[in-house]
Structure formats: C-alpha cells, structure tokens
Structure 1
C-alpha cells in the first residue's frame, strides 16, 4: 500500500475533485466517466457536494487563524490487489484513529478511474471546539508506518517505506519502482537526442512533464508525482555532463563528415582535371581550363629547357666538353667542322 498526506487551504476544490465525475486524460473528447466515485463513509457530515463544502466551512470558521484546515489522504493498493468495501471502510476508520481526526468531520471515497484500487479521505483538522486538534507534524513518516500496519493487517504486498524513514541496513535494499524506471527511461531517451539544456527542457515539457530547476532538478509527471533527478541517477550535474558529451560527439561527427566530403570533392576534382578520359562529362569552361593549363605546362617546360641550354653554353662553350660518351664528342666535332666551312662558330 502507498499513502500520501497533504494539507490544504480550501475544502471546495478538494471535495469537488473527490466526488465529481471527470473526463479521462487520454481522450478529452469522450464523455464524462460516470460512477467514478463511490462514497464509503460519512463522519459527522452528510449530503451532496455543495452541502458537504458548506458544513466543513462552517466548522472551519470557528478557527479563522488556521490557514490550512484541510487534510487530504490518498491510499492506493498495489496492482492486482483488491479490498472489499467493508475492508476499505475499516482502512478509512483506522486512518482516522492513527492521525487523530476520528471525532472530526471526514468522508472517505473510492475512485474507480484507475487500474489500481485507491481511496481518498478528506478530513477537517479543526474540531467542533474550534481548536486545531489534528497535527500535520511528521505526516509522511506517520503515513508510511500506517501503510505498513495495513499491509500486515490485510495481508497485502509488502512495500518499503521512503528511504529517509528506514534504518541504514534497510536503505541498502534494492527497490523496484516501475513508475520511476519508466520516467527515467523517457528522460534518458530525450537526453540522447539533446545537445543543450534548453532543448532538453523543451522536449521534456513536450512530453507532459513539469520541471523544477534550482540547485538541483525535479520532475513532475502527468499524475502529479514528483521525482528528484538525483533519485533516478539523473542529477543536474549528471545531465549537464551528458549534454556536454553529446555536444562534443555531435561536433566531432560533423567535423569528420565535413572532412570526408571535402576529401571526396578534392579527389573528384583532381580526377576530372588530370585523367584525359574522365568518365565525367566536362563543361565547356572546364575543357577550356584544361587546355590552357596543358599549354602553360608545355610553355614552362620549353622555357626551362632553353634556360638550361643557355646555362650549359655559358659554362661549356664547346658542347663536346660535356658530352657523356665518345660517340657524342665525335658528333659535336663533326658539327663544328661543318659550321667552320660555312664561316661561323657555334
């Protein structure tokens, strides 16, 4: 059994929520869910919603200094467990005795709009004497102890209390919280696709979560359940580190992708410029550029050859002086002889 105790300021909203039919959250267009609430017990009050609110407020006015006269309890069974109507009434009566409002106004209601069975109890903390005779001190711890008693009394599934109310040895025991695990899986999936904190928060809110961010971070789901990020291994510092890691990975991936594309482009351009029978169809501009490039290379080669020949002529006036073999020397001598006959020297 899981219990929750909340103090509030107004009876009208709380009683209306417990007694009225409502539209299902999954489909807001469908008609109201009828017979959602079944009243289990009246204690020193009676009537419909309007009459109950009036009666609770009349007693409340006996102590106008008390700003939070409402005590709202929720008791939920584990999935698959079900108590009979007399047993639920007994649970409500035991809760009234445990928290000290058995002599005050209260009503117990069973809701049938969820798969798991649960009841709501609305109690007035102010008694007919005008005093606030119901304390809300340590209400979470007292509720945890009360749930453990009901589990033993009705032989229900044993559930661990919140960690802060357990001994050091019990705090080390593993806990199985399907709702928390489901929320954690959703948040981890959103984290994988987020680069910055702003984008992460926007995607989380788009999934229907409310985010409370301060020194730490907490999440509230559609059912109003608040879970700290640190309790799921997703503290604010952890989320920031994961986002920074994602951003680094995205940048590295983009850089590698850009380098690969740039290399492929350069190789393709080199292939198209150097290979004479390129499989790519060249444009007229590319063909003109290639022709001009080849002509310029030929011109540079010819100029270089002429320059080298001039240098050799300066250093070696007689070509046979730098001939490699005797055949070459003989060849140059014959040329010299012919040119002497014609009247000029080489």
Structure 2
C-alpha cells in the first residue's frame, strides 16, 4: 500500500480527471473506472458531482483549489483481496486517520493499470463551512498507511523504496545536464545519454507544456518531486536566461562547474516555494541552484562591477 498526496485543484479538474472526462474515450472506456464510495455527493453524472462539491465550497468561496486529491496503490500480491468494498473501507480509514472528517468525498477505482489503486477526492471545506485540517499531512499519511498495512497484513510494497532510492540518481543526472543549457532539446539530448527521457504534461485546452516529468523506463517522476528547482517553469526560465546571457562553457575553465541542490525527500514539502531557484555565481562561472535569484538585479550588479574595473583615462597636457 502506497499513498500519494496529489496537488489540490478545482472540482472541475480533479473530478474530471478521476472520472476520465478529459481522457480519450476510446482508450478510457466506462469499464476502466467506477465509483466505489462517496458521501454527501450526487453521483449520477459528472456535472452533478461537481455541483455537489461546489455547493459546500460556497460556504468558504475564498478557499483556493478546494478539491483535495489522494491516490492509494497496492502491491499486486494483495490484488486478490482488493474488492470494491474492501478498498472503500480502506479509503475511509485513511481519511479518518488523516483527519479528513465531516466533509464530502468521492472514491474512484481505476482499472486500466496493472496494479490495484483508487483515488480519493474530498472537499477541503467541511460540512460546517470550515477548512479541513491538513497540517503535516505528508507525515500523517505515512503513519496512517503503516498502521493500515499492519492492521490488515498488507504487503509492504517495494515501490516506495524504489522511488526513494532512484530520486537521488535522477537529481544528480539532471543537475549535471542543466549546466549551461539553452533549450529543452539540448537538455533532453544530454539526459538521453544518461538514460533518462524527458516527458511533458500539456494543458488540455491550449496544448502548451505546463509540466515536466522524467523516466528511466522503470519509474516516472514529476520534476517537482525530485526538486522544486526542476519544475517546468523554473527550468524553462533557466534556459531562457542562459540564452539571453549567451552562456558558454570556456575551455579555460580549470574546474568543471557544478550544480548543487539541496535534496528534499519526495514525501516532504520543499523549503523552496515560489522562487526561481537559480543563481548564477559571480566568480568562476560557478552555477548554483538556490532561492532569491533576480536576473535584473544580477545584471545591474555585473554592470557595476565592470564600471569599477574600468581603468581611468589619463589626459596628456
């Protein structure tokens, strides 16, 4: 059993995702998913589900991204035990352990993958019109999952350990590949040589890239799960900055520049939130990822250093 707390969003998007409203109907037919549990929700169709959630959200309309989203997967060894009723019971116990109470929820089982799993969509505004307590939800989820596995004798899936072991490898190879990169093509070519493929998540309406993930053919990880500096937006900003600066590696550099990023385990929230996370060092072309970078300030500072170094012009009499 392995629980993932996914990014919250609108009910339109999250309910639409779990009920396959935005997927290819030829591939994701109605028999590839089904609702196995719900509370305080009209489940006759997609529109009524969204309306049910939004009615309660109306008690706290300022609550952004009100749809909570959790995915829970199970080892194939436990598949014979995974009836709809048992999975629905496990979903309720996980929510209770997480403190997700007195609120609306929807439990949807997906059937098209090789391993049993379901999704929980819940209203982050409870039936009393107050916000659901989600403090320390990552740590709390780890404790709850362990308790449930021990209670029912579920398999300790090696999947989570595989992710934990592989993420540092992904981080090191990505950190090496981004040095001096000016484009996604260049970045992708470098990573391909290291055995990692770059994939994109596109906006459903515009078709534009809005997310990036990496795969080695065995596991696939979102960039933000590896490090907050590896989101699509931040990497794209970095490549654009390098293009503007005409950044080039020089043969005269004696020491190979390095990229350093602080490793943050995937199950813990990152310390870096809404900053670019990329800083160009002033000495030795040392490139470091870190918070608080402002390209305009850096350019201004560089120009000032050049002015200070400019030799004074002597006038002959």
TM-score of the pair, normalised by structure 2: 0.54
Counterparts of 1:70 and 1:37 in 2: how far apart (Å)? 19
Structure 1 or 2: more strand by fraction: 2
Do 1:144 and 1:161's aligned partners in 2 also have CA atoms closer than 8 Å?
A: no
Query: Aligned runs of 1:220-259 on 2, under 5 Å?
Result: 220-221=213-214, 225-226=222-223, 227-228=225-226
For the structure 1 residues 102 and 129, does the alpha-carbon distance in structure 2 shift closer, same or farther, using more than 3 Å as the test? closer
Do 1:107 and 1:122's aligned partners in 2 also have CA atoms closer than 8 Å?
A: yes
For the structure 1 residues 106 and 96, does the alpha-carbon distance in structure 2 shift closer, same or farther, using more than 3 Å as the test? same
| Paired residue total | 210
Do 2:171 and 2:226's aligned partners in 1 also have CA atoms closer than 8 Å?
A: no
For the structure 1 residues 85 and 187, does the alpha-carbon distance in structure 2 shift closer, same or farther, using more than 3 Å as the test? same
SS at match of 1:208: strand
Relative contact order higher in (CA < 8 Å, ≥ 6 apart): 2
Deviations 1:203-228 (A, max 9, x none): 249933469xxxxxxx7337563443
Deviation of 1:106 after TM superposition, in Å, equals 0.4
TM-score of the pair, normalised by structure 1: 0.50
Deviation of 1:66 after TM superposition, in Å, equals 1.7
Counterparts of 1:94 and 1:179 in 2: how far apart (Å)? 29
Structure 1 or 2: more helix by fraction: 1
Unaligned runs of 5+ in 1: 25-29, 163-174, 212-218, 231-243, 249-346
CA RMSD of aligned residues (A): 4.3
Counterparts of 1:119 and 1:32 in 2: how far apart (Å)? 18
Q: Which of 22, 26, 50 is equivalent to 1:31?
A: 26
Counterparts of 1:156 and 1:76 in 2: how far apart (Å)? 11
SS at match of 1:220: strand
Larger Rg: 1
SS at match of 1:109: strand
- Aligned counterpart, 2:88: 89
Do 1:21 and 1:37's aligned partners in 2 also have CA atoms closer than 8 Å?
A: no
Deviation of 1:157 after TM superposition, in Å, equals 2.1
- Aligned counterpart, 1:238: none
| Bigger Cα displacement from structure 2, 109-118 vs 61-70 | 61-70
- Aligned counterpart, 2:120: 121
Unaligned runs of 5+ in 2: 202-211, 229-248, 254-317
Q: Which of 166, 175, 187 is equivalent to 1:201?
A: 187
